[in-house]
Amino acid sequence: MISETLQNAINEQIKAELDSSYLYLAMAAWCESVNFKGFAKWFEKQAEEENAHAKRFYEYLVDRGGRVILKGLDTPPADFGSVEKAFQQTLDHERHVTARINKIYDMARNEKDFATQEMLNWFVKEQVEEEATAEEMLAQTRMAEGRPGNLLYLDRHAGKRGDA
């Protein structure tokens, strides 16, 4: 059985992961509205990953005998200004998610909840990848910003995310 404290923290993390998905879906919609179909696809894939993360926390909580309590989602922005700004917000957001996961990990360590620590190890590693990917996309869009041909090339490249 999982402690009430960790159960509450994981329920909050489920909400945070779903909020992340909603944010990335809003970014995809904005990209569509400014005709960057490749970046839109990139953000759609990111939204799908965040949904999968929420589901992973959900299933873990159920497996540990906890109760999942879903909370309302935050309304994301509708305008991101530029592709570069969207990726800057992505990086900032992923860093925030990393801090949240680290806080839950610290709680689990303090409670000597080894199962939760083990589950969270996957997320700790995943966040390294998430931040690195966001940093790479931000750096590339910064290099391409102001150079329409380069930005269009990057848009096409981003649209291939997840293709075999």
At 93, list the tokens: 């957001």
* pLDDT at 147 (0 to 100): 84
The pLDDT of residue 137 is 95
Distances in whole angstroms, Cα of residue 103 to Cα of each of 12, 98, 157, 158: 12, 9, 35, 32
Please give the pLDDT value at position 103: 98
Q: What's the chain's Rg over C-alpha atoms?
A: 17
- Considering the entire predicted model, what is its pTM? 0.93
Domains and their CATH numbers in the chain: 4-72+80-158 (1.20.1260.10)
Q: Which residues of the chain have pLDDT under 70?
A: 162-164
Question: How high is the pLDDT of residue 109?
Answer: 98
- Contact by Cβ (8 Å): 9, 107: yes
Provide the pLDDT for residue 132. 97
Q: Is 69 helix (H, G, I), strand (E, B) or coil?
A: coil
Query: 31-65 burial, b if ≥16 CB within 10 A, otherwise e?
Result: beeeebebbbbbbbbbbebbbebbebbbebbeebe
- The pair of structure tokens assigned to 10 is 């994981």
- How far apart are the C-alpha atoms of 49 and 21, rounded to whole Å? 8
- What per-residue confidence (pLDDT) applies to 149? 86
